[in-house]
Structure 1
Amino acid sequence: MSKEKAPRRPRAETPKGFRDYFGAEVTERKAMLDAIAEVYQLHGFEALETSGVETVEALGKFLPDVDRPNEGVFAWQEDSDWLALRYDLTAPLARVAAQYRNDLPTPYRRYAMGPVWRNEKPGPGRFRQFYQCDADTVGAPSVAADAEICAMLANALERVGIPRGDYLIRVNNRKVLNGVMEAAGVLDPADPARFAHERGIVLRAIDKIDRLGDAGVRALLGEGRKDESGDYTKGAGLSADQAEVVMAFMAAKRTDGAATLAALRDLVGGSAVGLEGVQELDTIAALLSAQGFGPDRIEVDPSVVRGLGYYTGPVFEAELTFEILDDKGNKRQFGSVAGGGRYDDLVKRFTGQAVPATGVSIGVDRLLAALRAKGRVGAEAPGPVVVTVMDRDRMADYFAMAADLRNAGIRAEVYLGNPKQFGNQLKYADKRQSPVAVIQGTDEAGRGVVVLKDLVLGAKIAQSATLEEWKDRPAQVEIPRADLVQAVRQMLEG
């Protein structure tokens, strides 16, 4: 009789595109998000937590038009409905604003932080689950709301440890872009759909100015461009005169903000929407200046292009300007860590009525990486004090020691593994990066004392001490049990 085949054991591995976060990473992220939340709350924004699951109908703006609406998101069918893990934090906000519109104040100002999921092909640094940190104002048509978002973003960056001079928030306006397109003959205000394809190519070309330079962008505005690999990208087909208008737009930035606005005003010519956009930028600049935000922190920059079919007015991007070393050892600027803008059509999907909205999203992982590069986080936090177990019958005494330390605000734990080999307890303490071990055997208990072992000092001594010095055990001290908390605190501070 054949033996029954043993069931296959599950593989202990993380699914592709996902990762696990351990102690220090979780602690650092929470500390950063808590600091950002303090800034948002100071500006009067309230926290909102929405479900991780939304209906696909609510997330429909982000999904392709396919028979099975589960491409791009993690979705499943339940009865007649499709449900999906949320793709971002903005679509749930639009749903909340519509669902509770009779109960929420207008404008509604909220911030949200949490994981989102995208069913996309994973790659280096590209995960299917990641954190977002958003702040939005819904129901405020004035660009004063956009100015407030920019000011709040600057305050948040400084609050978490990015000093002035190491970041710059750049502001543009999609209306100005549309005005330039109109002046260049790429956009017809009476028939905007007619030039939609060419307009998209132009906007994408502008967005590549840092990577391709003037010559590369000019080629994309014209017939097209062939890259180093030989791949050809069809251009927008603009004439030389039309391309010159777009190139002049990208070169409109001046050292003086008023001069930049004047140059943009000339470029949009008689375009009503373009002039409206320039006036909005002027208003934003004035509101920020009144609060002490100069061009060293927030500036108007025509090269900012975000969300081709999404944003309807001001757009902004936070860029970190300090240098880091890339994987090849070359210096480069850190780059963008946050972006956002005005989107006045998202809530309309639910209500049929236009609802103005503006907001910003911070790239949590990128900002954490920036803080590590600046040395603001990343130092290994000490682990808990470990109370070792010398006598199993005296566990109550050991737990009492740990409780005394915790009541004094000191992290502490009792070793709960097999106490038979004392050396294993110290190995455990080292793996936990514990700064101090508390030791009390039967002899010490009878004399009312405990032994404290300074594990940090001990590790340093072990690297260079002579045998005689090591035998003196300078990292180990005996103290009265009653002085446990005070002695441990002094050791930690030392």
Structure 2
Amino acid sequence: MAKNKIRRPRAETPKGFRDYFGPEVTERAEMLGRIAEVYHRYGFDALETSAVETVEALGKFLPDVDRPNEGVFAWQEEDTGSGADWVALRYDLTAPLARVYAQHRNDLPTPYRRYAMGPVWRNEKPGPGRFRQFYQCDADTVGSGSVAADAEICALLADTLEAVGIPRGDYVVRVNNRKVLNGVLEAMGLSDEGQRAAVLRTIDKFDKVGEAGVRELLGKGRLDASGAYIDGVGLADEQAEPVIAFLTSRDEDASRTIGNLRAAVGDSAIGAEGVDELEQIAGLLAAQGYGPDRIVIDPSVVRGLGYYTGPVFEAELTFEVTNDKGQKVQFGSVAGGGRYDDLVKRFTGQEVPATGVSIGVDRLLAALRAKGRVGGDAATGPVVVTVMDRDRMADYQAMVAELRNAGIRAEVYLGNPKNFGNQMKYADRRDAPVAIIEGSDEQARGVVQIKDLILGAKIAQSASLDEWKDNPSQYEVQRSDLVERVRLILSDKEGRS
């Protein structure tokens, strides 16, 4: 009789997810720490919300007949007598903020300034560099309708990028206003919602197809790069002219851009209001010393325009990287946000102004790696104390305790100590900067052997050993000098890196 075959689970990460190991986690934590310092300096308080919200509270994705929209990871709670609620993993950090403010508004200051960092989840089709779980890092002001709050977010975003290692000249924060675009649509005389939506989609393609391409798409259509014909919106040339004037209004300085935008919106009151807000933002930023080398008024910024109600902003990295095809391309956007005055209203019935920004943590980390700002440390592991005599484990643990108490990262080798070569291989895989060796002979003489693994690696790569004969990578020191000598090696290593 055949035995039932044991079915073992496959050891694989679910599609669209990934695992993060030591250096990646450390890099992210260090970057988030720098971001938090800037946010805190600006007066924002930390907030950590639940990873799970009711689908009703999330709002963007609502339940259909049997289950919620596919865009979120959702499930139905057991019926507790009052009906079974659908709940879901949060898809961003803004919807939970709206719920928190509505729920606790009587206990919170107004305006309420908060920052939040953490993972979010989206049940979307994964692709290259696109995962279903990723980190966001947000800062928002709820309860202020002043454009000074929008200007502050732009300044904060510029300061944050520089704090994490993106130098001035390698980024630009671009600012636009939804109201200006509404004014352009009014100036075009479009009342059909389908046409208005088509125009918005076309505007969003400006960066890819340019002015000529937008003209074609607003008119009869155009051939794309693959040779396929894309139907246009069907507008006459004169109808399309306000859009072109709007998209090409950016000039050498903010005042000239503002003037061009006033012409683009014509007699539209909402458009004029949006231009006034951009002018105020530009003035507030100039007063703080943020010039066009850091923040610019740019009408080509289009971000989820159905979501935002006023100013919108985007941080773009301007340096080039090599893509998967070996082509040089600009790195692109790493953060974005804007004013959203209707989100809290869903809970309270009253309009509560709000503005904020979200940084894509993984994108920003990728940018820092491309610039060599992270991941360049050759030895990030702990000091490894080797085990020459398993009966003397207490002595080795005492060494480790001394190192740790001095603030030095250290560990004892806990594998099978029989093969010393395996211990050194382990130290190498751990990126250990130093290995400590103490056999019975060393113990009897009150000394330890210190092996400088950083220097040893350099000697191994050298074409000539003569230059290293006066600077050996392994030497003997008094046991009492252990901590100080290890500290010297590590500080010298930091000075060389």
For normalisation by structure 1, the TM-score amounts to: 0.95
Q: Deviations over 1:38-92 (max 9, x none)?
A: 0011111000000111111111224475642141111111121111111111110
Change in CA separation of 1:358 and 1:471 when aligned onto 2, cut-off 3 Å: closer
What's the counterpart of residue 234 of structure 1? 231
CA distance in 1, matches of 2:327, 2:469: 48
Opposite residue 259 of structure 1, the aligned amino acid is R
Q: Does 1:159 align with 2:159?
A: no
Secondary structure of 2:459 counterpart:
helix
Asked if the contact 1:199–1:236 (Cα under 8 Å) also holds between the matched residues in 2, the reply is no
What's the counterpart of residue 55 of structure 2? 56
Change in CA separation of 1:392 and 1:291 when aligned onto 2, cut-off 3 Å: same
Secondary structure of 2:168 counterpart:
coil
Alignment RMSD:
1.8
Secondary structure of 2:106 counterpart:
coil
Gaps of at least 5 residues in structure 2 are 79-83, 493-497
What's the counterpart of residue 73 of structure 1? 72
Asked if the contact 1:184–1:243 (Cα under 8 Å) also holds between the matched residues in 2, the reply is yes
Asked if the contact 1:70–1:76 (Cα under 8 Å) also holds between the matched residues in 2, the reply is no
What's the counterpart of residue 249 of structure 1? 246
CA distance in 2, matches of 1:405, 1:317: 46
Q: Does 1:172 align with 2:171?
A: no
Change in CA separation of 1:466 and 1:178 when aligned onto 2, cut-off 3 Å: closer
Opposite residue 202 of structure 1, the aligned amino acid is V
Q: Does 1:258 align with 2:262?
A: no
Offset of residue 229 of structure 1: 3.0
CA distance in 2, matches of 1:7, 1:82: 36
Gaps of at least 5 residues in structure 1 are 187-193
Greater displacement, 60-69 / 123-132:
60-69
CA distance in 1, matches of 2:443, 2:290: 63
Asked if the contact 2:242–2:265 (Cα under 8 Å) also holds between the matched residues in 1, the reply is no
CA distance in 2, matches of 1:82, 1:314: 33
Q: Does 1:135 align with 2:139?
A: yes
Q: Deviations over 1:338-366 (max 9, x none)?
A: 11000111111111111111110111111
Opposite residue 462 of structure 1, the aligned amino acid is A
Opposite residue 336 of structure 2, the aligned amino acid is G
Secondary structure of 2:107 counterpart:
coil
What's the counterpart of residue 125 of structure 1? 129
Offset of residue 244 of structure 1: 1.5
Q: Deviations over 1:209-251 (max 9, x none)?
A: 1211222211211133332334443322221101112111111
Secondary structure of 1:149 counterpart:
helix
Asked if the contact 2:55–2:63 (Cα under 8 Å) also holds between the matched residues in 1, the reply is no
Change in CA separation of 1:463 and 1:42 when aligned onto 2, cut-off 3 Å: closer
What's the counterpart of residue 444 of structure 1? 442
Secondary structure of 1:73 counterpart:
coil
CA distance in 1, matches of 2:220, 2:467: 78
Task: Name the count of aligned residue pairs.
Answer: 486
Equivalent residue for 1:185, pick from 173, 186, 189: 189
What's the counterpart of residue 81 of structure 2? none
Secondary structure of 1:212 counterpart:
helix
What's the counterpart of residue 301 of structure 1? 298
What's the counterpart of residue 364 of structure 1? 361
Asked if the contact 1:36–1:156 (Cα under 8 Å) also holds between the matched residues in 2, the reply is yes
CA distance in 1, matches of 2:404, 2:87: 44
Secondary structure of 2:333 counterpart:
strand
What's the counterpart of residue 271 of structure 1? 268
CA distance in 1, matches of 2:388, 2:463: 28
The 4+ residue runs of structure 1 with deviation greater than 6 A are 465-473
Q: Deviations over 1:315-343 (max 9, x none)?
A: 01111112222233332221111110001
Offset of residue 468 of structure 1: 10
Asked if the contact 1:63–1:71 (Cα under 8 Å) also holds between the matched residues in 2, the reply is no
Asked if the contact 2:61–2:69 (Cα under 8 Å) also holds between the matched residues in 1, the reply is no
Asked if the contact 1:64–1:71 (Cα under 8 Å) also holds between the matched residues in 2, the reply is no
Change in CA separation of 1:146 and 1:466 when aligned onto 2, cut-off 3 Å: closer
What's the counterpart of residue 108 of structure 1? 112
What's the counterpart of residue 430 of structure 1? 428
Secondary structure of 2:23 counterpart:
helix
Offset of residue 150 of structure 1: 0.5
Opposite residue 296 of structure 1, the aligned amino acid is D
Equivalent residue for 1:312, pick from 309, 314, 323: 309
Counting only pairs closer than 5 Å after superposition, residues 272-291 of structure 1 correspond to structure 2 as: 272-291=269-288
Asked if the contact 2:207–2:300 (Cα under 8 Å) also holds between the matched residues in 1, the reply is no
Counting only pairs closer than 5 Å after superposition, residues 40-55 of structure 1 correspond to structure 2 as: 40-55=39-54
